[in-house]
Amino acid sequence: MTRRVAVLISGGGSNMVALARSMTGDHPARPVLVLSNKADSAGLTRAAEMGIETAVVDHRPFDGDRSAFEAVLHDRIAAAEPDILCLAGFMRVLTAGFVERWQGRMLNIHPSLLPKYRGLHTHARALAAGDAEHGCTVHEVTPALDDGPILGQARLSIDPADTPDTLAARVLELEHQLYPAVLRRFAAGDRRVILMP
C-alpha cells in the first residue's frame, strides 16, 4: 500500500525536492502535499512544477496564537490524508498538542549530529567548538525540540577553512542523501538507523 507523504517547508525546499524526486518507481511512498507557512517560499513553486499539490498556512494572522495556527495547519494537512509528515526546513516550533496528533508518523531533518547542537546556528556552533566532525540527523518528531528517536545520521569532516556558509552547503548535500534514504526505509516500516558513512 503506497504511503502518502506531506512535506512541510518554509523556504527553498531543496530537501523537499530531494524527497519528492526519490519517491518514484518501487518506492513505497508518494508525495501528496507540500505546505509552507510562507506564501513566498521558493519551494512551493518547485513543488508545483513537480505536479505536487501545494498549500500555505501563514502563521502571522494568528498573532502568536500557536494553538489557533496549529488547528488550521492540522486540518489542512489532514485534508490530504497523509500517512507520513516530513518537516524539511519548516521553521515554526510545533507545540506538544500538534506533535502528539502526528507522533510516530512525523520526521524532521536537523543540520547537526544530534544530540549535539539542538536549535539554531548549528554550523557556527560546531565551528566555534572546534569540532572535527559535523553533519545532519533525521529523527522522529516528539514534543521536545530536536529530540526524538534518531533514524539516520550523515557526517563529514570539518575543513579548517570552513565557514558557517561553506559548512552549511556541504551538510545540505548530505541532507539530500540522508533524508530520502531514511524516508524510504521508514515508509516500508523499517526503523533501523542509517549511518552515512
Catalytic residues: 110
Out of 89, 135, 148, 180, point to the residue binding ligand GRF (CB under 6 A): 89
**Using CB under 6 A, which of 172, 177, 181, 196 touches ligand GRF?**
172
Tell me the closest approach of the beta carbon of residue 1 to ligand GRF, in angstroms. 28
Calpha distance 52→64 (Å, rounded): 29
Instruction: Report the residue number, 13 or 31, with the smaller CB distance to ligand GRF.
Output: 13
Contact window for ligand GRF (CB under 6 A) among 32-40, 64-72, 105-113, 127-135: 105-113
Asked if 14 is part of the footprint of ligand GRF (rule: CB under 6 A), the reply reads yes
Nearest to 171 by CA among 100, 130, 121: 121
Q: How far is the CB of 43 from ligand GRF (least distance, A)?
A: 6
CA dist., res. 130 & res. 114, Å (int): 16
Among 35, 88, 114, 158, binds ligand GRF (CB under 6 A): 88
Helix, strand, coil shares of the chain, percent, nearest 5, are 35, 25, 40
Angle of helix 14-22 relative to helix 164-187, nearest 10 degrees, comes to 30
Closest approach, Cβ 21 to ligand GRF, in A, equals: 13
Under a CB-based contact definition with an 8 Å cutoff, are residues 91 and 11 in contact?
yes
Least gap, CB of 182 to ligand GRF (angstroms): 13
Judged by beta carbon, residue 90 or residue 102, the one nearer ligand GRF is: 90
Nearer to ligand GRF, 29 or 178 (CB): 178
Q: Which of 7, 9, 29, 167 binds ligand GRF (CB under 6 A)?
A: 9
Selection from 43, 60, 63 nearest residue 52 by Cα: 43
Residue 2: all three cell numbers together: 503506497
* Helix/strand/coil for 30: strand
Sign of CA dihedral 173, 141, 189, 19: negative
Q: To the nearest whole angstrom, how small is the minimum distance from the Cβ of residue 77 to ligand GRF?
A: 18
DSSP 8-class letter at 94? P
Binding of residue 37 to ligand GRF (CB under 6 A): no
Interacting residues toward ligand GRF by CB under 6 A: 9, 11-15, 43, 88-89, 109-111, 136, 172, 175
